[in-house]
Amino acid sequence: MRPLIATVDLAALRHNYSLARQCAPGRKAFAVVKADAYGHGARQVVAALADVADGFAVCSLEEAAEIRAVNEQARMLLLEGCFEAAEYEAAAELRLDVAVQGSANAEQLLAASLPRPLNVWMKLDSGMHRLGFTAEAVRDWYPRLREAPQVAELNLMSHFACADERGHPLNELQLEQFCALCELEFDHRSMANSAAVLTLAAAHMDWLRPGIILYGATPFAELSAEALGLKPVMTLTAGLIAIRDVPAGESVGYGAGWVAQRPSRIGTVSCGYADGYPRTAPSGTSVVIRGQRVPLAGRVSMDMLAVDLTDLPDAQLGDAVELWGAQMPIDELAQACGTIGYELLTKVTRRVPRRYI
């Protein structure tokens, strides 16, 4: 078997969910498990959190149906809502909470014949300008939805654009927009994503929506996951499958961009961009072998990458290579690649086996 595995630590996952809850005592929290639980396996993550999570949040009906197949009772929020009238009936059959993000959605909901009423979350566009009603439209639609037979709970939600930038002026403006609707008697309110859970107590409201922090990565550029008390959930581990000596002046990899400046010992590692390791990782990016960091040498290939073992003479064929995990934080790799941990986690492909501990 090819030596590559993503090990998912379910105890770390539960720790991170508990940490999110501790930030806002008395509030409830939807664990965000969209995109196959950020690449960790939605079914396994939901099963691991089933006895502690207040609910789960997903992107699509397809994601919701997959979770409902393994958890009949969990409360589930459909974050992106429905896209046509018939989908509201499917959402009701799956017993979902549903985001309604504009007049067209609301009209479709009121035209739907449902087997049971839905918990509806009106989405306010408080400043991100991606989805949502204007504040004026929320006020206009509130009485119609409050009285509609298709609606059980009527709730309000919004989403921050810059919560990961502490002190950004838009955060306060968005909170003001949200709180300006306080005269409307919504059953529940929700605004706090991962960054707001950790640093914006005024945004905690009734329901939190922790996402990336559940998986042990940080939403902040300047605060590490370790500093926040988070534990990494996924460890991506490959193996050393070849070792060769490369003379000074010889190149390694596609494009011959990395050239040995000294007689070098080069290792080949069984992971590439088709597995989800970023092709944009530059030479010098660290991986960990035998507890020591060693640098990438040359371009990442589809199925392999090369590392410079010259300063780790004890390295041998078959050694484990940590590409990210406790010793090599995923956020450090993401920063080196000009991206974020969210993208790396969600891009681990299906051909990488997951092992749950």
- What digits encode the pLDDT tens for the residues 255-274? 999 999 999 999 999 999 99
CATH code for position 343: 2.40.37.10
Residue 296's domain comprises 234-356
224, part of any domain: no
Between CA 45 and CA 356 the distance in angstroms is: 10
Q: Are residues 249 and 191 part of one domain?
A: no
Q: What is the mean pLDDT of residues 105-124?
A: 96
Query: Tens of pLDDT along 279-328?
Result: 999 999 999 999 999 999 999 999 999 999 999 999 999 999 999 999 99
Give whole-number Cα distances, 123 to 56, 78, 110, 194, 211, in Å: 17, 12, 16, 18, 18
Query: Tens of pLDDT along 70-111?
Result: 999 999 999 999 998 899 999 999 999 999 999 999 999 999
Known binding residue 130? Answer is: yes
Q: Are residues 211 and 247 part of one domain?
A: no
Residue ending a domain, among 219, 247, 267, is: 219
Q: Are residues 188 and 50 part of one domain?
A: yes
Question: Quick one: pLDDT band at residue 173, thresholds 50, 70, 90?
Answer: very high
161, part of any domain: yes
228, part of any domain: no
Known binding residue 328? Answer is: no
Residues annotated as catalytic are 34, 254
Number of structural domains found in the chain? 2
Return the bridge partners of 305, or none: 269
Q: Are residues 208 and 266 part of one domain?
A: no
Q: Are residues 81 and 162 part of one domain?
A: yes
Report the candidate in 147, 149, 158 with the shortest Cα–Cα distance to residue 185: 147
Q: Are residues 257 and 120 part of one domain?
A: no
Q: Are residues 151 and 211 part of one domain?
A: yes
Q: Are residues 322 and 345 part of one domain?
A: yes
**Angle ∠(53,54,56) on CA atoms, nearest 5:** 75
Residue ending a domain, among 159, 187, 219, is: 219
Q: Are residues 146 and 60 part of one domain?
A: yes
Q: What is the mean pLDDT of residues 325-344?
A: 97
Between CA 125 and CA 122 the distance in angstroms is: 10
Q: Are residues 269 and 166 part of one domain?
A: no
DSSP string, 176-204: HHHHTTTTS--S-EEEE-HHHHHH-GGG-
Asked if 40 and 355 touch (Cβ cutoff 8 Å), the reply is no
pLDDT of the residue at 47: 97
pLDDT of the residue at 326: 96
Percent of the chain scoring above 90 in pLDDT: 99
Q: Are residues 245 and 201 part of one domain?
A: no
Q: Are residues 135 and 24 part of one domain?
A: yes
- Residues with Cβ within 8 Å of 338's Cβ and at least 6 positions away in sequence, in order, are 280
Report the candidate in 72, 75, 149, 71 with the shortest Cα–Cα distance to residue 111: 149
Return the CA Rg of the chain.
23
323, part of any domain: yes
CATH code for position 136: 3.20.20.10
Question: Quick one: pLDDT band at residue 349, thresholds 50, 70, 90?
Answer: very high
Between CA 352 and CA 236 the distance in angstroms is: 9
254, part of any domain: yes
Q: What is the mean pLDDT of the chain?
A: 97
Report the candidate in 191, 228, 235, 202 with the shortest Cα–Cα distance to residue 213: 228
pLDDT of the residue at 299: 98
Helix, strand and coil percent figures for the chain, each rounded to 5: 30, 25, 45
pLDDT of the residue at 355: 98
Query: Tens of pLDDT along 203-242?
Result: 999 999 999 999 999 999 999 999 999 999 999 999 999 9
pLDDT of the residue at 186: 98
Residue ending a domain, among 194, 219, 244, is: 219
